[in-house]
Structure formats: structure tokens, C-alpha cells
Amino acid sequence: DAGVTQSPTHLIKTRGQHVTLRCSPISGHKSVSWYQQVLGQGPQFIFQYYEKEERGRGNFPDRFSARQFPNYSSELNVNALLLGDSALYLCASSLDTQNEQFFGPGTRLTVL
């Protein structure tokens, strides 16, 4: 069975640009969570979605937004990129909001 997949693998943007990251959950999983992992730190929770609705939000500015589609895949959008947004963005899927979260390999975003 395929695990959580994320695209693209790597991405380079410049300050002020917009970026969209994509995640496909494990088949049968209805919840997707997004995390930001800055180099040398643990992942920081950004959002959790379940059945296309936002169920939780971390301490991130409104420049960060996400959505979940009917097939349970998800997109994370970041507007007006800052240098500090450079990080590994991780997607995790779970059966629902209370079950074990399985992480994808992440998208490495570099903002120049």
C-alpha cells in the first residue's frame, strides 16, 4: 500500500511569492494534518482537516491556509513568503482525528 505522498519534493521561491503544497493521504484515511519543521527543530502543528473541514489550527499567521478535497487530499497554501518560511513541510494522515498519524516525506521549501 502507498503511504502518504507529498509534492513537490523540493521547491525554491523568492520572498513575497505564493506557494501551494500538496498531500495525498493513505487510502481510507479521512484526516490530514500539516506540520512545519524548521531545520534543527521538531515539527510544529499548522492545521488539521477532517471530512473537508478545519478541525484544528496552530499558531501560524493568516498567510497560511489549507483545504481538503472530496477525495481527502489536501493543499497547504502560503502567501507573501518570508525567509523564515523556509522549512520542511510535513503532511500526516490518519483514519480520523483521534488515530495514529502517519507522516509523508515532506516538501522542502527554500525561500530566497
Partner 1 sequence: GESVGLHLPTLSVQEGDNSIINCAYSNSASDYFIWYKQESGKGPQFIIDIRSNMDKRQGQRVTVLLNKTVKHLSLQIAATQPGDSAVYFCAEEYNQAGTALIFGKGTTLSVSS
- Residues of this chain that bind partner 1 (CB under 8 A): 4, 33, 35, 40-45, 48, 50, 54-56, 58, 90, 92, 94, 97-98, 100-106
Q: Which of 17, 8, 29, 26 is nearest to 89 (CA)?
A: 8
Give the whole-angstrom CA distance, residue 41 versus residue 102.
19
Give the whole-angstrom CA distance, residue 96 versus residue 81.
31
Give the whole-angstrom CA distance, residue 100 versus residue 12.
31
What is the closest distance, in whole angstroms, from the C-beta atom of residue 16 to partner 1 in the complex?
28
Compare residues 10 and 63 and give the one whose CB is closer to partner 1.
10
Compare residues 14 and 27 and give the one whose CB is closer to partner 1.
27
Compare residues 18 and 103 and give the one whose CB is closer to partner 1.
103
